[in-house]
Structure 1
């Protein structure tokens, strides 16, 4: 039976999306057994290849760059069950799956048969990284979960144990990561787990747990924030990583995400996409086909980008009544490198393209990850996608220090300051931020208080901007207990009624809104949209992308966690359901 189990797992490993040539250059395995396998470095590598399927991908489900649509940071023509408060308790499934954990534990019970100490250290670290990654996702989704560090048989009593406290589970996650950090070598492996990947995951896990416990009223959070500081600092001071920059603030941020090969200066772990293996993703198709929900950035995100001089865009009284061309001028350069603004061209092209309401439901037309026209088909993109990058580590460091109350101006200069310097922006002053907290950002995070209120709000702004469309937003909202931000109105660009518009400010009309019948004698090159049918406007003349969903709710006592499936509660009566499900 175990021979079959190993063979099946090896088959799944060979089907991995993320493969390098050396993975495929191995002798075929036609007949393996528990005794003969796990004895060589190649065996350990082959088995652990299958674990990479746990990482987010961006082919069929577009997990990396549309996860933020779950919480409205990307707006589609439909809303998620979370946004509409329509999630139900499933009968089975629902994320409560333990198969991947069994694969990992099975490996950890057998890998030490290999006599190659270097291989054992490396692949033992890989397996512990993925056990930590698996459990981190389970804790984020379900809170308390049972901890298992061995393979379970059908008659094992521990299969019917109660859930373990989340702190116990997180402590063991960090223990696994510490093992990986302490035993893996110092080599960079951009498409494979490394010591640095483990440090980056530890930084992420510790920050999540520290802030989750702080804002959800759980004592003992400080040790996790300190662990986030220490793991981030280790990467900042003792690793080969930094921010990718060529000294061009107008393109460097965008180039990082459309590079065919991961930029190794900054990217710690990436998903590899290569044309010969026909395993591309669909970033271009997602934003340009019109069949993927016409995604758009909401105005709350666009409003959060600072002006180019570091001042706050929303400090002006009419920030919601400014033409698109004007509102996107002299802003944080990351805005023009994330959406279409004046002068935008496709990679390798010279034709300037205006925002197109046919493909963006808010008018803020997303361009992050988008490459040249040759990749516009389904799953034709081959630009690698970051899973962990150094920028996140800088943000984690700054936030953990601020939440602990130990942040100094020097801390900000070597974290937030570096991120802003890449795009030619002034740094973040702790004194100025705390002296004048941003009232616009307070709308999202009303529970932030204390002497560092202004600083924390600015760090959260920076995180939303820098990590936009990288799959972090919902987890940030969960840990900050900021669920009410999901009920704020979803809005698009300002269009003051019927008329002709030059959205990109190049002197030519590109968009026309009309009422009644389609106008005769149409303007060449312009797109026409009927008010009330193609485009809806609010009384403030902002695009209302989903008027049928303007009255949304969020249950603070329920919606931060997922429910445990009904069948699981019936099979294991020691399990308890999450509150109010």
Structure 2
């Protein structure tokens, strides 16, 4: 079993194809493949095509420990520079942060300009072209999210390429090209049963298409760009393709108090029906540090996020007679969505088990330490295993594409198309709730939360967004969601940077009073993570990042700079 798993791990490959070299002319000329392979002798057979495409796999999006730190869901001890107004327009691109670096896009285009040379059948060549176009769609979408209008180029460039001096291509035009790439990938990648384990397949491409098209369609709608419905329809159709395949399901063992938590601490996701595509790890071969970082992360969920959990009667806290308030963590978790205790360390959670089997139990939130900034410590993806806690030794598999996200995309897209009936909800939201023992959503019984973040939104869409926020918490979706919904102002909510309530009687329970004596509270007794501010300020310019100034100098046709920067 161990040998089989190691053979299937593509992501650990260290390929020269991704070793980039610099360029004097422009960032579009980040040269990588032609230095790594001899052009006249490469791309001769299927093995060459596969080897080249392997180099892209390390760029697949994976949940990590910092996911959602850049949103209203979590409050890192150190302020996020972008959300706190401290971000400075960069002078030069920074490859590590993805700032105006085009090396990945060029690497794809290099392949697509040459793969037809291979002595292989059209189906084989199209399969690897589909892999490359999957990644090109991903890369250009990431550019559009960050910068808006960006140059679209479909071939690799050299110093004499006229495309170097092209202006930026309009956002919507780039995304139409992204959609074409996604459609090619869905049409030409094999179904999972025919695909090599660990490689892209039809439904992984459909999951990415659903994600991207929902983002683009709703971005167009809520930013008044027009022509939003076709993209939202594409999102619904892509999600439906995955659902109709019958290959996937939600992970459940019939234990609603633990199934959601256990889903994210598995050493083997291959074969788990919720894993459309996992990233896999193996001891002493390919490991990560997530469990250790989650125990020392200096972050925590926000009060804003915690208020989003429904009560067990299916009502928000502002409407439910079952809500017990938040004077203590014990009261706050009572009668709440069971995902509360599977996302957040609450009394009774086993923080760690030592080599002798002794359990380190959570009795009080570990505020005043590096474990959490807010008292709401993230435990999603954190195992109590000592072996997993060792630095850079974790072998827990991580999700790249998860079936729950597809269900949420389908529900939201159908609601945006005014086609979300009870049958759609029964296939999607109600199934997610059933896993954790929550009551099914009944459209006819929905009541608008008077404290909703989206007061002008129809109640059905509002509750679908709530479900998405809870189910996908700490997976890195929230900031992108705020962007596409034109909801950046939620960053200004004071509760987005507050933690738990720390009443004097709760504070007195801590055996080490030095641990809590310097914690700053607001007037209502909630932890103020940033003592110098009571709320953050959202500026409309923050819907896009600025282009590095050197790039504007190299190509003045990229001007103007993004608005406000």
Report the alpha carbon displacement of residue 40 of structure 1 after superposing the two structures with TM. 2.1
Matched, 1:315 2:319: yes
Report the alpha carbon displacement of residue 84 of structure 1 after superposing the two structures with TM. 0.6
Return the alpha-carbon distance in structure 1 between the equivalents of residues 53 and 413 of structure 2.
Answer: 32
Return the alpha-carbon distance in structure 1 between the equivalents of residues 481 and 366 of structure 2.
Answer: 30
Report the alpha carbon displacement of residue 245 of structure 1 after superposing the two structures with TM. 1.3
Distance 1:162 1:119, change over 3 A: same
Per mean C-alpha deviation after superposition, the further-off stretch among 350-359 and 217-226 is 350-359
Name the structure 1 match of 2:32.
none
Which of 289, 301, 307 is the aligned partner of 1:303? Answer: 307
Name the structure 1 match of 2:225.
218
Which of 528, 532, 535 is the aligned partner of 2:513? Answer: 528
Distance 1:42 1:239, change over 3 A: farther
Q: Is the 8 A contact 2:325 2:331 kept in 1?
A: no
Distance 1:480 1:329, change over 3 A: same
Q: Is the 8 A contact 1:69 1:75 kept in 2?
A: yes
Return the alpha-carbon distance in structure 2 between the equivalents of residues 379 and 403 of structure 1.
Answer: 43
Report the alpha carbon displacement of residue 347 of structure 1 after superposing the two structures with TM. 7.0
Return the alpha-carbon distance in structure 1 between the equivalents of residues 50 and 221 of structure 2.
Answer: 39
Could you say what secondary structure the match of 1:492 adopts? strand
Distance 1:546 1:320, change over 3 A: farther
Name the structure 2 match of 1:82.
82
Q: Deviations over 1:120-173 (max 9, x none)?
A: 232111101000000110111111111111011111111111111111111111
Q: Is the 8 A contact 1:54 1:134 kept in 2?
A: no
Report the alpha carbon displacement of residue 272 of structure 1 after superposing the two structures with TM. 2.1
Report the alpha carbon displacement of residue 425 of structure 1 after superposing the two structures with TM. 1.0
Matched, 1:538 2:522: yes
Distance 1:473 1:31, change over 3 A: closer
Counterparts of residues 96-115 of structure 1 (less than 5 Å)? 96-115=100-119
Return the alpha-carbon distance in structure 1 between the equivalents of residues 67 and 183 of structure 2.
Answer: 28
Q: Deviations over 1:496-545 (max 9, x none)?
A: 126556xxxxxxxxx42xxxxxxxxxxxxx34346561x11222111222
Matched, 1:369 2:381: yes
Name the structure 1 match of 2:348.
343
Could you say what secondary structure the match of 1:549 adopts? coil
Name the structure 1 match of 2:180.
175
Q: Deviations over 1:158-203 (max 9, x none)?
A: 1111111111111111111111111111125663321111100110
Report the alpha carbon displacement of residue 328 of structure 1 after superposing the two structures with TM. 0.9
Q: Kindly tell me the number of residue pairs found equivalent between the two proteins.
A: 519
Could you say what secondary structure the match of 2:454 adopts? coil
Q: Is the 8 A contact 1:445 1:485 kept in 2?
A: no
Report the alpha carbon displacement of residue 380 of structure 1 after superposing the two structures with TM. 2.0
Return the alpha-carbon distance in structure 1 between the equivalents of residues 66 and 288 of structure 2.
Answer: 12
Matched, 1:468 2:473: yes
Return the alpha-carbon distance in structure 1 between the equivalents of residues 243 and 332 of structure 2.
Answer: 35
Return the alpha-carbon distance in structure 1 between the equivalents of residues 330 and 197 of structure 2.
Answer: 39
**Aligned-residue RMSD, C-alpha:** 2.4
Which of 450, 455, 464 is the aligned partner of 1:439? Answer: 450
Return the alpha-carbon distance in structure 1 between the equivalents of residues 18 and 549 of structure 2.
Answer: 32
Q: Is the 8 A contact 1:211 1:479 kept in 2?
A: yes
Q: Deviations over 1:321-372 (max 9, x none)?
A: 4321111123211111111123212476655323211221111121111111
Q: Is the 8 A contact 1:13 1:49 kept in 2?
A: no
Q: Deviations over 1:83-124 (max 9, x none)?
A: 211222111115111111111111111112223334323211
Counterparts of residues 386-401 of structure 1 (less than 5 Å)? 386-401=399-414
Q: Is the 8 A contact 2:507 2:516 kept in 1?
A: no
Which of 529, 532, 549 is the aligned partner of 2:533? Answer: 549
Which of 546, 549, 554 is the aligned partner of 1:571? Answer: 554
Report the alpha carbon displacement of residue 280 of structure 1 after superposing the two structures with TM. 2.2
Return the alpha-carbon distance in structure 2 between the equivalents of residues 65 and 288 of structure 1.
Answer: 10
Report the alpha carbon displacement of residue 406 of structure 1 after superposing the two structures with TM. 1.6
Name the TM-score, length of structure 1 as normaliser.
0.85
Could you say what secondary structure the match of 2:40 adopts? coil
Moved over 3 A (4+): 12-15, 188-191, 316-321, 346-351, 498-501, 529-532
Name the structure 2 match of 1:3.
none
Return the alpha-carbon distance in structure 2 between the equivalents of residues 337 and 196 of structure 1.
Answer: 28
Return the alpha-carbon distance in structure 2 between the equivalents of residues 288 and 173 of structure 1.
Answer: 38
**Structure 2: 5+ residue runs without aligned partners?**
1-12, 21-34
Q: Is the 8 A contact 1:190 1:267 kept in 2?
A: no
Name the structure 2 match of 1:378.
391
Distance 1:256 1:190, change over 3 A: farther
Matched, 1:356 2:366: yes
Name the structure 2 match of 1:255.
262
Name the structure 2 match of 1:274.
282
Which of 215, 228, 237 is the aligned partner of 1:208? Answer: 215
Could you say what secondary structure the match of 2:416 adopts? helix
Q: Is the 8 A contact 2:65 2:293 kept in 1?
A: no
Report the alpha carbon displacement of residue 65 of structure 1 after superposing the two structures with TM. 3.0
Counterparts of residues 48-127 of structure 1 (less than 5 Å)? 48-56=53-61, 64-93=64-93, 95-117=99-121, 118-127=123-132
Name the structure 1 match of 2:462.
457
Report the alpha carbon displacement of residue 392 of structure 1 after superposing the two structures with TM. 0.5
Name the structure 1 match of 2:564.
580
Return the alpha-carbon distance in structure 1 between the equivalents of residues 427 and 514 of structure 2.
Answer: 47
Distance 1:469 1:205, change over 3 A: same
Q: Is the 8 A contact 1:395 1:415 kept in 2?
A: yes
Distance 1:528 1:492, change over 3 A: same
Matched, 1:561 2:565: no
Q: Deviations over 1:211-244 (max 9, x none)?
A: 1111111110010111111111111112411111
Name the TM-score, length of structure 2 as normaliser.
0.87
Q: Is the 8 A contact 2:64 2:290 kept in 1?
A: no
Return the alpha-carbon distance in structure 2 between the equivalents of residues 387 and 64 of structure 1.
Answer: 10
